Amino acid sequence: MNNNLKGFAYGIATSVTFGLIPLFTLPLMEKGMRFDSILFYRFLFAAIALSGMLLAKKESFRTEMRNLPILILLGAFYTGSAMFLFWGYNFMAAGIATTLHFTYPIFVTLFMLFVFKEKTSWITLLAIGLAICGVARLSIDGGEMRLNGLGVIIVLLSAVAYALYIVTVNKSRVHDMPGRKLTFYVFIVSTSLFFIKAQAGTGIQPIPDLPSFINLVLLAFLPTVVSNITLVQAVHHIGSTLTSVLGATEPVTAVCVGVLVFGEPFTPHLALGILLIIVAVTLIILSKYIQKNLHEAKRLFKARHILRTK
């Protein structure tokens, strides 16, 4: 499998596993657990799992001291993204917040364009537009879109923070750091920050029961450890912009969980949203092939036109 195909596979795996968050989070919320406690346990268990992986693979925990500021910055970006998104839920419906959060591919594209002068093809821009329309269809199912100004700013900050996380992984000096080690340090920072935040409020709640513990472990492993390791690998292989667009499959997974596990209705809005996202992801995967064929067709057309005028 070449690097591009590996990157697309990692990017889709990132989104699919990340989209499983509702499957493990909703039962915890039903037991009365608050977001700060859920997120603290999520990152704590994820850091423990990654430390076990590093030990099993006999990988070193060592990193150069000059990497620490960047790793702390990455942890702050990741923590900020989660914190602002959950804060935004207090101001608007979760579906609308999800749609606004998914504007992060736009911010990734803008950062790469204006800061790093990376050119973006019209196919990528079209895919971003289709993906955002698809997420909107999944998230806003026929309801009125009443937005709170402060809530919009808060959720857009979550999108900006996630975009900065992806871009920093791609463009900083830790780009070539092994994915498990990089993710371990990011989770250590996130665990510490959520612990401080929880202690500033009502403190960390105890885990209610065994099923809740199992849900927290699964939340820490699948949509946290696996999704972040594959995210780092995807960014290594195909870059920030394409990885961010492939994130459109996150809400598709969440919708499938809702329909298949929680018995939510499957409506025409959902079908249209999924279709738009599938088209967007297909465009990204085939973008080089499409551009190559369009370039060849344009060259042949010019050649024929020249022959006809002679």
Q: What is the pLDDT at residue 285?
A: 78
Q: What is the pLDDT at residue 122?
A: 86
Domain count, the chain: 1
- pLDDT of 69 > 80? The answer is yes
Domain span holding position 142? 1-307
Helices 249-260 and 268-285 pack at an angle, to 10 degrees, of: 140
Q: Over the stretch 204-263, which tens digit does the pLDDT of each residue have?
A: 999 999 999 999 999 999 989 999 999 999 998 998 888 988 887 877 887 787 788 878
Residue 4's contacts (CB-CB under 8 Å, 6 or more residues apart) are 237, 238, 288
Span 84-92, mean pLDDT? 81
Express as a percent the part of the chain with pLDDT over 70.
Answer: 94
- pLDDT of 140 > 70? The answer is no
Q: Over the stretch 3-62, which tens digit does the pLDDT of each residue have?
A: 788 999 999 999 889 878 878 888 998 899 998 899 999 999 999 999 999 999 999 999
The 10 Å CB-count burial string (b at 16+, else e) for 43-60 is bbbbbbbbeebbeeeeee
Rounded-to-integer distance, Cα 31 and Cα 286, Å: 44
The verdict on pTM exceeding 0.85 is no
Q: What is the pLDDT at residue 184?
A: 95
Rounded-to-integer distance, Cα 110 and Cα 112, Å: 5
What is the pLDDT confidence band of residue 141, given thresholds at 50, 70 and 90? Answer: low
Q: What is the pLDDT at residue 160?
A: 95
